[in-house]
Amino acid sequence: MAWFGEIIAGVFIAIGSFFYVVGAIGIYRMPDVFTRMHAAGISDTAGAGMLLIGMMLFAISTGVSFFVTIKLAIILGVILFTSPIATHALAQAALQAGLEPVLASKKVMIGPGAHAEPASAPKSAKKAPKKAAKRRATKSSAKKGRARS
């Protein structure tokens, strides 16, 4: 009956390898940093999870030390908690650095109740930030001009 456990372990290892291959293709083909992080995060979490589950099943079916299985389970837990957090932190850092997703400027209206613009915001409030940004730009250019002379 040990061969059955080895076959199941092999299936999990194959699925984990598939996730890594698809993630590598996704990292290569995606257009911007956010979608690439998504591909890397999914492949890292799911691929490593499946590989480690397969290794644990293999260790159990072949009669390797019980401590090996415990160590693999601890590694799996650490990866399942830290990988999504690391991907989220990288996405936040990219947003703070000023990067925008490729389709951020296009209005995507999908699903029921989707609106092109928020209904609650008055039109005058939408134009106010542009005027304030222009005033700040002219003030800063005036300050630069005074500093040079």
Find the domain containing 43 and state its range.
2-96
Residue 72 inside a domain? The answer is yes
Residue 122 inside a domain? The answer is no
Closest CA to 50 of 85, 21, 28, 91: 21
Residue 12 inside a domain? The answer is yes
Residue 35 inside a domain? The answer is yes
Contacts of 8 (CB under 8 A, 6+ apart): 57, 61
Closest CA to 41 of 80, 87, 89, 76: 87
Contacts of 60 (CB under 8 A, 6+ apart): 5, 69
pTM of this structure: 0.65
Packing angle of the helix pair 2-29, 48-62 (nearest 10 deg)? 160
Q: How many CB atoms lie within 10 A of CB 57?
A: 21
Is residue 72 within 8 A of residue 55, CB to CB? The reply is: yes
Residue 17 inside a domain? The answer is yes
Residue 21 inside a domain? The answer is yes
pLDDT 10s per residue in the chain (149 long)?
678 888 999 999 999 999 999 999 999 998 888 889 989 998 989 999 999 999 999 998 888 888 999 999 999 999 999 999 999 999 888 888 888 887 766 665 555 655 555 555 445 545 555 555 555 555 555 555 555 54
Predicted pLDDT of residue 62: 86
Predicted pLDDT of residue 97: 87
SS (H, E, C) the chain: CHHHHHHHHHHHHHHHHHHHHHHHHHHHHCCCHHHHHHHHHHHHHHHHHHHHHHHHHHHHHHCCCHHHHHHHHHHHHHHHHHHHHHHHHHHHHHHHCCCCCCCCCCCCCCCCCCCCCCCCCCHHHHHHHHHHHHHHHHHHHHHHHHHHC
Domain count, the chain: 1
Residue 41 inside a domain? The answer is yes
Residue 65 inside a domain? The answer is yes
Predicted pLDDT of residue 54: 94
